[in-house]
Amino acid sequence: MVLRNGVFALALMFITTSVLAQDYVVTVHGIVCSFCAQGVIKKVSKLPFVDRSMYTNGVKVEIEDQKVIVAVREDSVIDRLSLFAAIESGGYDPIDLWTVSATGELTTYPR
C-alpha cells in the first residue's frame, strides 16, 4: 500500500510540474550579420517576459533565415507590441510572429 501511494505521489508530481518555456519565432528583415544579431539579442533580452536561461539571454538569431527565436518564461505571456518595438528600435523590421509547438510546428500568432 505504501509503495502504491509513493508511486501515485511521484506520478502526480510529474503531471503537475510546469511546462517548459514557450518559444516564439519572429521573421525580421534587415538582419545581415552577427553584429546585427547581437544588437537584437541585447534589446529583446531586456524584455520582462524573456526566459534568459535559454539560448543567448533568451534569444537566438538565425541570420540566414532572418528569424529571431525568443524563449518566453512559463509564468509570463509574450507582449507582441513590446517585442516588435524592441526589434524596431534597433532599426530592423519585424514581419510575423509565430508560436512553436512541442513538435516544432509553427503557428501564426494572433494579432
Q: Which three cell numbers stand for residue 69?
A: 527565436
Determine the Cα–Cα distance for residues 74 and 78; give it in Å rounded to an integer.
Answer: 10
Task: Give pLDDT tens digits for 12-69.
Answer: 343 333 345 699 999 999 999 999 999 999 999 999 999 999 999 999 999 999 999 9
Determine the Cα–Cα distance for residues 18 and 75; give it in Å rounded to an integer.
Answer: 9
Q: Where are the alpha helices (H) located in 17-101, listed in sequence order? A: 34-44, 80-89
Within a domain: residue 13? no
Within a domain: residue 74? yes
Residue 60 belongs to domain with CATH number: 3.30.70.100
Within a domain: residue 57? yes
Where in the sequence is the domain holding 81, given as residue range(s)? 20-108
Within a domain: residue 11? no
Q: Are 80 and 111 in contact (CB under 8 A)?
A: yes
More confident residue, 77 or 2: 77
Within a domain: residue 3? no
Within a domain: residue 44? yes
Number of structural domains found in the chain: 1
Within a domain: residue 15? no
Answer yes or no: pTM beyond 0.85.
Answer: no
Q: Where are the alpha helices (H) located in the chain, listed in sequence order? A: 2-16, 34-44, 80-89
Within a domain: residue 35? yes
**CA 20, 46, 94 angle in degrees (round to 5)?**
85
